[in-house]
Amino acid sequence: MAEDKVALPGLKRELGVWSAASIVVGTVIGSGIFLVPKKMIASVGSPEVVFAVWIVGGLLSLFGALTYAELATAMPEAGGEYVYLREAYGPLWGFLYGWTQLLVAKSGSIATLATGFYLYMANFRPELTQAFYTLRLPIGPEGGPLKMCYGQLLAIALILVLAVVNYLGVRFGGAVQVAVTVVKVGLIAAIIAIGLGGGHGTVANYASSIPVAGGAAGFFAALVGALWAYDGWNNVSMVSSEIRDPQRSLPRALIAGTAVVIGIYLLTNLAYFYVLSAREVASSDRVAADMMGRIFGERGAAAVSIAALVSIFAALNGSILSGARVPYAMARDGLFFRSVGGVHPVYRTPGVSILALNAWAALLVLSGRFEELYTYVIFASWILYGMTAAAVLVLRRKRPELARPYRTLGYPWVPVLFVLGALGVVLFTLRRSPRESLLGLGLILAGLPFYFHWKRRFSG
């Protein structure tokens, strides 16, 4: 079996530092920046504390990027966290991470983004929200009938089109990612400039507030929302085996990309709260649209919908490009269907893995259950994130001979602080949503029989 594995064709290093950085920026900035400010201000009550939460969440994400940079340059292989967990703790932990990603986390993220795309598109074509068929069985959200709408068909079509784009070559997919990320950042920069320079705001809004319970619980609730908006900076590590000069490109992409996102998020919130008061943000489901609507009326709100569509498109393409490398890596290790570890002889992409992941994501879109499932795995996902950061500490002792072209800045405090942050998220999620957390943990542990099945099959 080992000889067969070595003989398999591999992936090609065709992504440069700009493509890698665009995966970080383009995947992180999705719909979160347009949605979470409402939740954050409702949790902490004042813009000053909202900014503090964004900074803390950004620093935690930056600490994660600094930590992952050491792992990515030491082990520039496809699969990202799957590889790091496998090397630090053994194949079981790598498999559980890959199982989580394939079953819910990455597939659910793709389904969420595609659904968000059609919901924003419905601002221009309301008929997308109309149901065309209702399956009267208790398999829909919250156990109700399953309604299928035209927008879901659009979301599925978008997923499959981008799957084909990335099937045709990582260079092609990377070029698309760079292009749409540049457009996205340009549009968000325009929103920031108009908000701060349009003459329709006041600095007095920064001192506005609303009555909330606040305290540590409120701060942590807002922080969870901010970390959701920052989520995705780690995706570039999944395509490490396809990045040119990974020892230099990966740290630059991880650190610079995360820093750019932090800057964009802080500036965007400065614009929001300059134009809108705390109370107005707290009552806004689409804060960017309301801000632009205040300045330009309906045309401004429509412009934000276009910016959101581009933003979600870039995040979706980045998720599809990176996510398929995890089941591919599992299959190469004999811990998943052998065909998923195949590489297309012409395009040199993990074609079967791309199609399998996105076919499952398309089914989740149709089921309407992806948000529910995604909520279930937040608890388990952050356990694995914390374990991945701790892998830097473990591998320094376990494999001191491992070449480390980049060493984590601020070691050991930077990875320790990230691990403590992840532990805080886990404990808060468990306390706030114990049922969902335990169900999610059960969903992950359901992968154990499959792990032992494939392990026995590979060993045999």
How does pLDDT run across 63-119, given as a tens digit for each residue?
A: 999 999 999 999 998 899 999 999 999 999 999 999 999 988 888 889 888 988 988
Identify the pLDDT of residue 2. Answer: 38
Identify the pLDDT of residue 255. Answer: 92
Determine the Cα–Cα distance for residues 308 and 303; give it in Å rounded to an integer: 9
- Between the ranges 128-132, 133-137, 346-350, where is the mean pLDDT highest? 346-350
**What is the CATH architecture assignment of 15-459?**
Up-down Bundle (1.20)
- Say how far residue 197 (Cα) sits from the centre of its chain: 31
280 vs 147 pLDDT, higher one: 280
Span 288-333, pLDDT tens digits: 888 998 888 888 888 888 998 999 999 999 999 999 999 999 999 9
Beta bridge partners of 148: 133
Identify the pLDDT of residue 3. Answer: 38
Asked whether residue 234 carries a pLDDT value surpassing 50, the answer given is yes
Q: Count of alpha carbons within 13 Å of 212, Cβ hemisphere only?
A: 26
Compute the average pLDDT of residues 259-273: 95
Span 14-34, pLDDT tens digits: 889 999 999 999 999 987 888
Asked whether residue 4 carries a pLDDT value surpassing 50, the answer given is no
Compute the average pLDDT of residues 409-431: 91
CA–CA distances in Å: residue 135 to residues 145, 161, 366, 372: 6, 26, 11, 19
Mean residue pLDDT of the chain comes to 89
Determine the Cα–Cα distance for residues 349 and 168; give it in Å rounded to an integer: 7
Q: Provide the pLDDT confidence category of residue 458 given band limits of 50, 70 and 90.
A: confident
Asked whether residue 388 carries a pLDDT value surpassing 80, the answer given is yes
Q: Looking at residue 369, what DSSP letter applies?
A: -
Per-domain residue ranges of the chain: 15-459
The candidate with the shortest Cα–Cα distance to 77, out of 240, 243, 234, is: 240
Q: Are 385 and 105 in contact, with CB atoms under 8 Å apart?
A: no
The candidate with the shortest Cα–Cα distance to 83, out of 259, 335, 314, is: 335
The candidate with the shortest Cα–Cα distance to 364, out of 141, 180, 127, is: 141
Identify the pLDDT of residue 9. Answer: 62
Asked whether residue 371 carries a pLDDT value surpassing 80, the answer given is no
Compute the average pLDDT of residues 256-276: 95
Compute the average pLDDT of residues 163-171: 92
Asked whether residue 12 carries a pLDDT value surpassing 60, the answer given is yes
From 252-256, 355-359, 369-373, 374-378, the region with the lowest mean pLDDT? 369-373
Asked whether residue 166 carries a pLDDT value surpassing 50, the answer given is yes
pTM across the whole model? 0.88
List, as own/partner pairs, every contact residues 427-434 make where C-beta atoms lie below 8 angstroms and the sequence separation is at least 24, other chains included: 428/220, 428/221, 428/224, 429/224, 429/378, 429/379, 429/382, 430/379, 432/221, 433/375, 433/379
